[in-house]
Amino acid sequence: MSNLHRFGKSGFLKSLGLCGVLLVCSYIAAAQVPSPKSVLGFTPTDDKTIADWRQINDYFVKLDKASNKVAVKEIGKSTNGKPLIVAFISSPDNIKNLEKYRQISARLADPRTVKSESELADLIKNGKTIVSISCSIHSTEIVASQMSMNLAYELATATDADTKEILDNTILLLIPSPNPDGIDIVADWYRKTLGTKSEGTAPPELYHHYAGHDDNRDWFMLNLVETQAITKLFWQQWFPQLVYDVHQQGSNASRFIIPPFFDPPNPRVAPSILREVGLIGYKMAADLQAKRY
């Protein structure tokens, strides 16, 4: 996923002395940040494992406490009263100044708040790219919610130049699940059926109390408290430039789908946005190809 943002040249540290100091500091910081395995007792996404919402929430609370690159906020409650959370992940400096960058992003999204070309140029220069990754809105597509802990840990502890560049330039709004109730319904059923002939089947109840699988068809109507909370976060507060809503197909379908997407595109989406989404897809494809060969 982090490949998505690896545009441009990698940043290089200007002096070897500074490099040495930074590496030592980073090592100490990383040593104190708990890995998912140290909290859960297993590495999320490993076969035959599943973390429920209490475990996922607990991990992110611990990460927030241990890392100055992570700030976790509760943005509401789910239909069944579970905490709905977002983890802001960025450089320590950006995390200290979240409100400043939120305001820049909000102004860039609303031309009425920008009075001149030079003001616009300043906002673009001083702002950060706001990216959201939202995991497993369809709860039986469970892997992304489990992966979210690994991604957060990797970003909070990695010391390579690419990750540093990403964290310096990007503020990630990571939503481990927009439907925590469904995570628990799927986790409970998986644990109950593990090792039986029902292992791997879908739970015999809707994984969202009102909407079931249609919980992602509520973005235009905003009937559900989860959709209301996330819509407020996105389109009244943060205005992310990139929103990646991670789904998952069954074992008989494509393993990966990356842009550019099939024709015909939605005619209501600006052609330049479609082209830019295509650029991101080609970057992802190039990185995947480079890993493959």
Closest CB to Zn ion among residues 129, 248: 248
Is the bond preceding 260 in cis, omega lying within 30 degrees of 0?
yes
**Distance (Å, rounded) from C-alpha 259 to C-alpha 247?**
14
Closest approach, Cβ 247 to Zn ion, in A, equals: 4
**Contact with Zn ion (CB under 5 A) among 5, 102, 128, 138:** 138
**Distance (Å, rounded) from C-alpha 27 to C-alpha 21?**
10
Closest approach, Cβ 223 to Zn ion, in A, equals: 18
Tokens of 180: 């925590």
Tokens of 219: 């973005």
Closest approach, Cβ 138 to Zn ion, in A, equals: 3
Closest approach, Cβ 144 to Zn ion, in A, equals: 10
Alpha-carbon distance values, 122 to 108, 119, 291 (Å): 10, 5, 37
Closest CB to Zn ion among residues 138, 208: 138
**Distance (Å, rounded) from C-alpha 239 to C-alpha 225?**
19
**Distance (Å, rounded) from C-alpha 237 to C-alpha 103?**
8
Contact 185, 80 (CB under 8 A): no
Closest approach, Cβ 79 to Zn ion, in A, equals: 18
**Distance (Å, rounded) from C-alpha 22 to C-alpha 98?**
23
Tokens of 235: 């389109």
Stretch 247-276 residues interacting with Zn ion (CB under 5 A): 247
Closest CB to Zn ion among residues 209, 247: 247
Contact 166, 160 (CB under 8 A): no
Closest CB to Zn ion among residues 92, 200: 200
Stretch that binds Zn ion, among 66-74, 120-128, 132-140, 282-290 (CB under 5 A): 132-140
Closest CB to Zn ion among residues 67, 146: 146
The yes or no reply on residue 128 touching Zn ion (CB under 5 A) is no
Stretch that binds Zn ion, among 107-115, 134-142, 183-191, 217-225 (CB under 5 A): 134-142
Q: Which residues contact 83 (CB under 8 A, 6 or more apart)?
A: 57, 74, 77, 180
Closest CB to Zn ion among residues 91, 136: 136
**Contact characters 168-207, Zn ion, x per CB under 5 A:** ----------------------------------------
Closest CB to Zn ion among residues 261, 282: 261
**Distance (Å, rounded) from C-alpha 89 to C-alpha 155?**
8
Closest approach, Cβ 213 to Zn ion, in A, equals: 8
Total residues contacting Zn ion by CB under 5 A comes to 3
Stretch that binds Zn ion, among 118-126, 135-143, 144-152, 177-185 (CB under 5 A): 135-143
Nearest to 29 by CA among 38, 21, 17: 21
132: which strand partners?
A: 173, 243
**Distance (Å, rounded) from C-alpha 95 to C-alpha 175?**
16
Closest approach, Cβ 141 to Zn ion, in A, equals: 5
Binding footprint of Zn ion on the chain (CB under 5 A)? 138, 141, 247
